Amino acid sequence: MAYKTEKHILSLIVENQPGVLSRIVGLFSGRGFNIESLCVAETAEADISRITLVTLGDMDIIEQIKKQLNKLINVIKVIDLTHRPFVARDMALIKVRARPENRAEILRMVDIFRARVVDVGALFYTVEVIGDLEKIRSLINLLTPMGIKEVARTGTIALPRELKKRSK
């Protein structure tokens, strides 16, 4: 049985304890699973963290990944967002060379992408952009000719969408 490889966004609710991240990352490296991106932070409850993990695999591998994650004692819940409505965001900080002749163009692109300039230096602007992965990649591509000094990106964070109507 061959299934096609697909990107899955997994949202893990875990106990906020030392070593939990290491258990999860170790599971992926030890079993040869793939991590595309990973974001970790506390939730509204201090003793619970949410890990948003993007992984690649066919149906069998994804099923095994979810089961193995569920088996970890500190993992409370594994939610696969892939086949349900969800909102997802990535963020990037892009430090781009701001030559006088490019500044207007940079600001125009920042405007079009609903990004923001969050730091202005003598030679560089730092641009903050939030959106999906495609949008961030596009902006980076467009700014590249002007000279990007460095980029910092988060992984994807995501939450399932709520129902639009109240159920009766």
Residues 126-145 that bind other proteins (CB under 8 A): none
List 1, 44, 46, 163, residue binding other proteins (CB under 8 A): 1
List 73, 104, 122, 163, residue binding other proteins (CB under 8 A): 73
CB of 13 to other proteins, least distance (A): 9
By the rule CB under 8 A, 58 interacts with other proteins: no
Residues binding other proteins: what is the number (CB under 8 A)? 21
By the rule CB under 8 A, 167 interacts with other proteins: no
By the rule CB under 8 A, 32 interacts with other proteins: no
CB of 10 to other proteins, least distance (A): 15
State the Cα angle at 42 between 37 and 44, rounded to 5°. Answer: 130
Residue closest to 82 by CA, chosen among 44, 113, 56: 56
List 5, 43, 64, 144, residue binding other proteins (CB under 8 A): 64
Which pair of structure tokens corresponds to residue 108? 């125009």
Residue ranges of E strands in the chain? 6-15, 37-42, 48-57, 75-80, 86-97, 116-120, 124-131, 148-153, 157-160
Instruction: Give the chain's radius of gyration (CA, Å).
Output: 19
By the rule CB under 8 A, 19 interacts with other proteins: yes
Residue closest to 72 by CA, chosen among 156, 32, 12, 29: 12
Residue closest to 12 by CA, chosen among 85, 87, 70, 91: 70
Where on the chain is the footprint of other proteins (CB under 8 A)?
1, 15, 18-19, 22-23, 26-27, 30, 60, 63-64, 67-68, 70-71, 73-77
